[in-house]
A and B are shown apart, each in its own frame.
Chain A
C-alpha cells in the first residue's frame, strides 16, 4: 500500500464548477498535512497546510479526518488558472520533516 494515495484523475471540469480531491495516508503517526500545487514543468508550490479543525483560503477549503486518515481539498468556482496537478503531502513531523508525496491529481479547467 502506498503511503499517500490520491484520486487518480484527471479531473476535467468547466469554469465555475466545484471540484473535490481526496487523499488517504497510511501512517497514523503523521503529524502535518499539506496540499501543494504543481504546474507543468514547474516546482511544487505550497497551496495550504491542513489543520485538524479544517481551514479555508478563499475558494479553497481543506479538511482533515485523523480517525479515517483522510484529507480533502475542495475548490469552488474553478478558474482556468486552477489547472494544475494537486499533490497531497504528509509529514511525520516531530522534527524530522520528511515530506511524503502522493502521486498527484491532475485538474483541467476548461471554458
Chain B
C-alpha cells in the first residue's frame, strides 16, 4: 500500500483562524479523500479530492468552510476555515488502492484543537 504522510500531525488554533493540512503520498494515486473523526465518533467523509477538477463535497460540508486543493497526483491540502471549537477533530486523508479499486488506506491524521 502507499505511504501517506500528513502535516501537521497536531495543532492548537484559536477560533476564527484557518489551518491548512497537507497530505503527501509516495506514489501517484487517482483518488484522494478527506475524512473527519470527531471525538469519540467514527469517520465521516468530507470530500473527494479530484486532480484537475473541483472537489466533490458530501452533504453537510461546503467548499467555503473546507476548501481543498489537488494540484497533482501525489498531493492534496484541506483547509479548515474560520475555525470554531466544534471543528476540533482528527482530520485524515486517504487514498484509493491502485490494485484493489475500492480499498482505501489512511494517513496518520491531523489532530486539531480549536480554543
User: Which residues of A line the B interface, CB within 8 A?
Assistant: 31-32, 34, 41-46, 49, 87, 91, 93, 97-104
Count class of interface residues, chain B: 20 to 34
Main SS at interface, chain B: strand
B58→A98 contact, CB < 8 A: yes
Of B62-70, B74-82, B100-108, the one touching chain A: B100-108
Write out, one digit per residue, whether chain B residues 90-115 have a CB within 8 A of any chain A CB (1) or not (0). Answer: 00101010001111111111010000
How far is it, in angstroms, between the C-alpha of A44 and the C-alpha of B100 when the chains are bound? 17
- Is B12 an interface residue when CB atoms closer than 8 A count as contact? no
Give 28 A-B contacts (CB < 8 Å), ordered by A residue: A32-B102, A34-B103, A42-B108, A42-B109, A43-B92, A43-B106, A43-B109, A44-B43, A44-B106, A45-B106, A46-B1, A46-B103, A46-B104, A46-B105, A49-B100, A87-B42, A87-B43, A91-B102, A93-B102, A97-B33, A97-B96, A98-B45, A98-B48, A99-B33, A99-B43, A101-B42, A101-B43, A103-B42
